[in-house]
Amino acid sequence: MTRGIRHPARLVPVGFAVLIALGTVLLMLPAARVGDAGAPLMTALFTATSAVCVTGLIVVDTPSYWSVFGQWVILGLFQVGGFGIMTGATVLGLFVAGRLGLESRLAAQSETRGVQLGDLRDVLRVVVLVTLVVEAVATALLSLRFRFAYGMDWGAALWDGFFHAVSAFNNAGFSTRSDSLTGWAGDAFVILPITLAVVLGGFGFPVLNELRKRPLDWRRWSVHTRLTLYGSALLIVGGALLIGVYEWRNPATFGALGGAERALGAMFHSVAARTAGFNTIDVSEMRVETQAVNWALMFIGGGSGGTAGGIKITTFMLLGYAIWAEVRGSEDTVVFRRRIPHQALRLALAVVLMALTVVAFGVLALLTVADIALADAIFEVISASATVGLSTGITGELPPAGQAVIVALMFIGRVGSVTLVTALALRRAPRAYRYPQERPIVG
């Protein structure tokens, strides 16, 4: 049994489960809650899971329900959770690359460009360095803004700046404000540093490591880095345009803001919807078309080996290229003059189908235990399983059984894709025979 737990495909979920259990115990302590009594088990479990899985969904108001100690526990959980995601996914990728045959190993190393299994210490060092630098810069920018533009004392400014910087880089979505970022909706000096931290955290370590080594030599970037960067730009711009079009004249969201503030809000929500969980407008007041755009952005998510959730940009882009190759009648899927192996495409398809299955059963389970609208259930389930953290406001109103469903979805969404990909990759074994081929009717 011990050997089974030590299997690399099980290390990540076991580690996250232990961290969630520890966080639940700490949040149940009376010192973690405002008042004399400790938090109930489900409240503590939900919050700990949301923090460790860097989701951001909440069932209680963070600043008014949790004490300073409790908020520090939450911050520590999503900091450790985010760090564990970046290192865990990268190390498992390196392990897979070292266990496969030569051809498959070369393909697997495209996601861990520039690092090898023996470079584990360097991997951890770079992840820590990038994390500290980004969070420190974001903390400084936000704290100065809060101090001099909003009149906060230095203690409050530093705390709010630090909390939001760490939450943003880890794509956690937790805030020390009851209204998230709506109070700063039109302030570019607050929104842009948070946006940049979210984007950098969502790129993933393989991309950040390659950009660190060759930031301007784009011709030598790996296919993985190009897909992540170009795909991110496409989703940010495309999402911002769609959100802006649908919400521009909505009086309950962007309608009361100026033109520049509306553009800033559209861009920010295009980024936040893909994994961050922050909001500058009331999500429940969005038009149904905008919520549908959010479904797509949340489902796709960010980069592999990072703090973002979803099926990942590379998965989405690879399947898009595969469809284009099929439309053109091409036998090979070619991306940036590189042929993509069929194993990678099959793996991408498996990830998407598994994610769709989780969403479908999650929606059914939530509708079974809670009396909510279908659109709200779809939004909540995708947000939880893609570890985004946005909500139409129903999270705190769910019954305990509904909250348990969301807890399971957050955990599955956070560790499921990494575990699935690693397990499938390590199970590959050559056979000495092949069955006769037969082509079924498709379509």
Per residue in 377-389, pLDDT tens? 999 999 999 999 9
**Could you give the percent of the chain with pLDDT greater than 90?**
59
Write down the pLDDT at residue 87. Answer: 65
More confident residue, 98 or 293: 293
Note the Cα 313 to chain centre separation in Å: 11
Q: In this structure, are residues 390 and 380 in contact, taking their beta carbons and an 8 Å threshold?
A: no
Supply 179's token pair: 């209204």
Write down the pLDDT at residue 427. Answer: 56
Closest CA to 360 of 343, 323, 385, 335: 385
Closest CA to 111 of 416, 318, 301, 388: 318
Per residue in 106-139, pLDDT tens? 333 433 444 444 455 666 777 788 889 999 999 9
Per residue in 152-194, pLDDT tens? 999 999 999 999 999 999 999 999 999 999 999 989 999 999 9
Judge whether residue 398 has pLDDT over 70: yes
More confident residue, 289 or 97: 289
As a whole number of angstroms, the longest Cα–Cα distance in the chain is 75
Per residue in 5-48, pLDDT tens? 455 556 677 788 889 999 999 999 999 999 888 899 999 999 99
Query: Could you tell me the CA-to-CA distances from 6 to 88, 142, 158, 255, 349 in Å, in that order?
Result: 14, 42, 41, 54, 27
Write down the pLDDT at residue 217. Answer: 78
Residues 13 and 9: their CA atoms lie apart, in Å, by 8
HEC states along the chain? CHHHHHCHHHHHHHHHHHHHHHHHHHHCCHHHECCCCCCCHHHHHHHHHHHHCCCCCCCCCHHHHECHHHHHHHHHHHHHHHHHHHHHHHHHHHHHHHHCCHHHHHHHHHHCCCCCHHHHHHHHHHHHHHHHHHHHHHHHHHHHHHHHHCCCCHHHHHHHHHHHHHHHHCCCCCCCCCCCCHHHCCCHHHHHHHHHHHHHHHHCHHHHHHHHHCCCCHHHCCHHHHHHHHHHHHHHHHHHHHHHHHHCCCCCCCCCCCHHHHHHHHHHHHHHHHHHCCCCCCHHHCCHHHHHHHHHHHHHCCCCCCCCCCCCHHHHHHHHHHHHHHHHCCCCEEECCEEECHHHHHHHHHHHHHHHHHHHHHHHHHHHHCCCCHHHHHHHHHHHHCCCCCCCCCHHHCCHHHHHHHHHHHHHHHHHHHHHHHHHHHCCCCCCCCCCCCCCCCC
Q: Where are the chain's structural domains?
A: 7-426
Write down the pLDDT at residue 108. Answer: 39
Tally of CB atoms within 10 A around 417: 25
Mean per-residue pLDDT of the chain: 85
Residues forming a β-bridge with 334 = 339
**N residues, the chain:** 443
Judge whether residue 428 has pLDDT over 60: no
pTM as predicted: 0.87
Q: How many CA atoms lie within 13 A of 326 on its CB side?
A: 9
Residues 441 and 429: their CA atoms lie apart, in Å, by 28
The structure tokens 């080594």 sit at: 213
Predicted confidence band at 85 (pLDDT cuts at 50, 70, 90)? Answer: low
Supply 12's token pair: 């990540």
Per residue in 281-305, pLDDT tens? 999 999 999 999 999 999 999 888 7
Q: In this structure, are residues 59 and 180 in contact, taking their beta carbons and an 8 Å threshold?
A: no
Predicted confidence band at 105 (pLDDT cuts at 50, 70, 90)? Answer: very low
Judge whether residue 432 has pLDDT over 90: no
Which sign, positive or negative, has the C-alpha torsion 21, 23, 29, 30?
negative
